[in-house]
A and B are shown apart, each in its own frame.
Chain A
């Protein structure tokens, strides 16, 4: 809002104090995670705990990368998230284009219906998802989990791409149609290339949604065949005796790519918020 005019010194100080306090609240657990990940075992169980390791070590990371199921689960997660993203992009950008370019009866009703997948509580659907996927033989398969993740990824891509397409001038596809393209070709050859920057950030959104998803994946997975990273990590941390050093190293490894992607695409993320990214 207002960034000029009279800045009252005392009020500015209060604003800084609030921000720094909130910063501590937001980052203290994260800092403790990073510190612990680099600590040797003796230091992890030292009382009182310290933020920084005295003798930093990579042994926790070594254990996670070479001596645990985590890399395998991460690979599963990458495959599943890629499948989800590709399917959501193909179906979702077409639908988003349709909603933004065609006037038809039921446009609003159908686009609100698409929002349902974002608003419906997934936890309330675990029983039918389990039964249906069991019946069609998709239990414990990567395809199955990717399909389940479409429940939230597809509405996300549809809404975000619809709002993105509506910022692109209609004259562009009209010109393409005049040149003999069908509407589908106009989308593929003219509109999509122009929309590419937006589409990339939408794709990352869908990818991260699948990368983070826990509830459906945990219900549809039995074995290492399809176990995703969140499930593997949660098992890591609910074992009888928790190896906190390795657990923090694994949590760190899972978080880093997400934060990196966010920082690179911050602006689009924030814009995407208002475009139907209802589920965080």
Chain B
């Protein structure tokens, strides 16, 4: 059917060249806008309304004020801060150590090590969280048994029901699930370092330390910055690890902002959930903005 049509008619139907991108790009952009911009607008406006004597009416910033009047809000914010700092730092350190060990000259079976170390990251989050819940079980779990037989602890610990341990225990799951991502990114960064530069440095008598400080770390600075931002955004928004392990308990010890939003939603307290959502949106979009600026600068 294509050969019968005259060429001229075809050409006339085509868009002018400067608009040629539109049919390709715009459908996706419109769908993405409907799925992100509209809900964002909607949650901001929902946070400004609430139940009043007149029904659902405009209450301005009352929902936010109410959020900060709750006795536990400070605890939630503090927990969120702790959780973000602990999980991001932990994953960054472990991931970098793993990458350096993996890319070390003498290592054999590098591909096997890499494939196995990545399993925590690719495992579905829900399955991973459930597996850790069982691993942490104070009576029947393997963790207490291993630590006891190594002599690290004397008594079995209640990882998930002791308020002093629970936040750390949930953070370990998040670190476990994200450090392989750091490892993959950093080891890709290490591979891209020019061998001849390292060789030249060595000929000049540079030891491994000055090699690390003067060549490797500067080369990794950009990728590390981006990884750190991604880890922070993930940690800020992470729900599953805590929800499955402790549901925010015991006594609010692991309640973070995502847990607060999710619980408020499940209690049909939509104004409170919306106000908390706006707060979280603002903070994570701040980090997302830095990320975008950084990516733009590099491109």
User: Chain A interface (Cβ within 8 Å of chain B)?
Assistant: 1-9, 11-12, 14-16, 18-19, 22-23, 25-30, 32-33, 36, 44-49, 51, 91-92, 94-95, 97-99, 101-102, 104, 107-108, 110, 112-117, 119-132, 147-148, 150-151, 154-155, 158, 180, 182-184, 187, 211-212, 214-215, 219, 230, 233-234, 236-238, 244, 247-248, 251, 254-255, 258-259, 262-263, 266, 269-270, 273-274, 278-280
Chain A's interface: helix, strand, loop or mixed, by majority?
helix
Q: How far is the CB of A196 from chain B (nearest CB, A)?
A: 19
B199 near A5 with CB under 8 A, answer yes
B127 near A280 with CB under 8 A, answer no
Q: How far is the CB of A137 from chain B (nearest CB, A)?
A: 16
The 6 closest A-B pairs by CB, nearest first: A98-B24, A95-B28, A102-B21, A12-B106, A128-B39, A121-B237
Give the residues in chain B near A14, CB-CB below 8 Å: 101
Contact mask B67-87 → A, CB, 8 Å, 1/0? 000000000000000000000
For the complex, give the distance between the alpha carbons of A48 and B243 in Å: 28
For the complex, give the distance between the alpha carbons of A219 and B243 in Å: 14
User: Chain B interface (Cβ within 8 Å of chain A)?
Assistant: 7, 10, 14, 18, 20-21, 23-25, 27-29, 31-33, 35-36, 38-40, 42-43, 46, 94, 97-98, 100-107, 113, 115-128, 130-135, 139-143, 145-146, 149, 176-178, 180-181, 184-185, 188, 190-191, 193, 195, 198-199, 202, 208, 216, 230, 233-234, 236-237, 239-240, 243-244, 247, 258, 261-262, 265, 270, 273-274, 277-278, 280-281, 284-285, 288, 291-292, 295-296, 299
B265 near A114 with CB under 8 A, answer no
List 12 contacting pairs A-B, 8 Å CB cutoff, sorted by A.
A2-B198, A15-B100, A15-B101, A19-B102, A48-B149, A49-B140, A49-B142, A94-B27, A98-B25, A120-B281, A214-B126, A236-B130
